[in-house]
Amino acid sequence: MKNTLNNVEEIAAAHLCMGCGACAGLYPDHVEMVETLEQARRPRCITNVAKQGTIAEQTIKVCPGRQITYPSTENCEQIEETLLDEWGPVLEIWEGHAENHELRFRGSSGGVVNALAHYCIEKGGMQGALHTKARKDIPYLNRSAISTNLEELLEASGSRYAPSSPCDRLYEVESASKPLVFIGKPCDVAAASMAAQSRPELKKNLGLTIGIFCAGVPSVSATFDLMSHLGSTDATDANDLKELRYRGHGWPGEMTVVPNNPEDQKNYASISYAAGWGDILQKKRQWRCHMCADHTGELADISIGDPWYRAIASGEKGSSLVVVRTRRGQRILREAIANGFVSAEKRPLSTLPDSQENLLRVRGAIWGRTITLRALRVPFPRYNGLKLFPVWVKQLSLREKLQSFYGTTLRVVRKRLYRPERWTYFSVRAGVDKGA
Ligand SMILES: Cc1cc2nc3c(=O)[nH]c(=O)nc-3n(C[C@H](O)[C@H](O)[C@H](O)COP(=O)(O)OP(=O)(O)OC[C@H]3O[C@@H](n4cnc5c(N)ncnc54)[C@H](O)[C@@H]3O)c2cc1C
């Protein structure tokens, strides 16, 4: 495997691409995102980027797959120092939900992500929100969309446990006349934040960044497994499919296939979120997600996930765990609460580790995994500014520490990480829906 990576296609070949789309979003005339069956989305150079030094350099610079740089935490206003190494900057933790019934009902947890976007559009002087929703023509694939009103925001309610690349429309944020909300997975937010460092217009127009917690992105092939499990005879045929839901319509909601034919409506099939994720989807996550150290969006103004610290009562309405990371995030959350868009109560900082124990263990394993890849001369991502060794020491048992070495060695062999990554392109282009 090559040691020096000269362009985004080479980063992808080295199993490091996360599929965020930042390369395509900053240089849409040179790079496009395509759907793959086995991985997430992948960049395809449509001009000879390798030969265009500056573009190749710039796309590499903003790529979170290769490296993410976290700002110095010396002057960070962290309340509790111990959280910093494990969860990044945390000013406050809240638990709450969207005041709008539909946003809450259709949302993944409590609909707070889109409720905040709604506030920013209605009262915060922002133009819209760049985020991810299902494609209308092929509902099992995602598209990046800019929503400008409640109806459009509702189309994006609920997590899509399938590849997405919201950064592939960053050029529209950069050239917008007013700021926008950016919503994405931690890697998407990292890419947008890194791109903003060298692009003043983009920085100015990222009015609020919201990161959703993420344990890794399942491939489209995983979604086909889910649909087959739910009875689709030919999962790739989208003709009979009206909707594919992974979350929402209750909390945490069921993974549900809704057929197109109104006569079949009663026969739609579903599986619990826990079984759909645990038994099917999570088995097919791209390798780069296993090397992810930031599952909670540490570069975002606000990060949002599920408050799993407590058992959910049957029929309970949705609730979101809200991590405030910056003063801007703090101000906007307070305004959204004061203006009746979000209802929330403050929680102790310990609610975060209590809610996401599994994410902490994965972060703990990254140091051991990185050392192993380095020793085996397999490409690995860099996290400048994160202290991963102390988390490995503190959070993993001896068995888990050893596993971070030998488990990674086994994966290198099984997944053939010493060879260039392989994938099958779909004939459809990744969903960049200009109409939304
Ligand atoms: C792949 C994946 C893994 C997840 N892992 C965890 C986890 O480990 N722990 C946990 O607590 N929660 C996890 N979640 C759920 C996520 O944290 C919830 O979206 C969050 O609780 C916000 O809920 P909400 O009701 O406030 O959001 P909503 O109001 O429903 O809004 C959801 C927002 O997320 C955006 N979005 C949906 N899917 C994607 C996607 N694939 N890529 C980028 N943006 C997207 C939508 O555009 C929308 O704006 C995961 C979600 C995904 C997609």
Per-residue pLDDT tens digits for 112-151: 999 999 999 999 999 999 999 999 989 999 999 999 999 9
Which residue from 101, 212, 333 has its CB within 8 A of the most atoms of ligand 1, so it is best to mutate? 212
Contact by Cβ (8 Å): 288, 315: no
CA of 185 to the centre of ligand 1 (A): 7
Per-residue pLDDT reduced to its tens digit, 91-117:
999 999 999 999 999 999 999 999 999
Question: Across all residues in the chain, what is the average pLDDT?
Answer: 92
Instruction: Render pLDDT for 272-305 as a digit per residue (tens, 0 to 9).
Output: 999 999 999 999 999 999 999 999 999 999 999 9
pLDDT tens string 156-192:
999 999 999 999 999 999 999 999 999 999 999 999 9
Which numbered atom of ligand 1 lies nearest the CA of 306? Answer: 11
**What pLDDT, on the 0 to 100 scale, is given for residue 153?**
98
Atom of ligand 1 at shortest range from CA of 104: 25
